Structure 1
């Protein structure tokens, strides 16, 4: 998964671990969630941010 909402956290977490991280300029990321997804946190924009944040916090230790 690489939704527009995931891009910022992914690049920040990667950079925090010493890697050069970026998202390609001019490439539109998918921004629609799948309400049928088997992963509850990926079914809506309301549910994803808290889960994504918790995952990033765990990686920044």
Structure 2
């Protein structure tokens, strides 16, 4: 997964441990389940909107939804 690799290889040393953990958790629970199987170059604006709509329907907070992006 591109985002996982990017987070671990690029951002790991730039982020504080709690920030890193929060980003990793956000990816794991709010992003991967919905668009994690789509190659990054194939993610469309419709996919992103569907993700947002799903998170809203599942009562995620506004701040959690923003963190997913």
Q: Same fold (TM over 0.5)?
A: no
TM-score for both structures, normalised by structure 2: 0.27
- Structure holding more helix per residue: 2
Instruction: Please give the TM-score of this superposition, normalised by the length of structure 1.
Output: 0.29
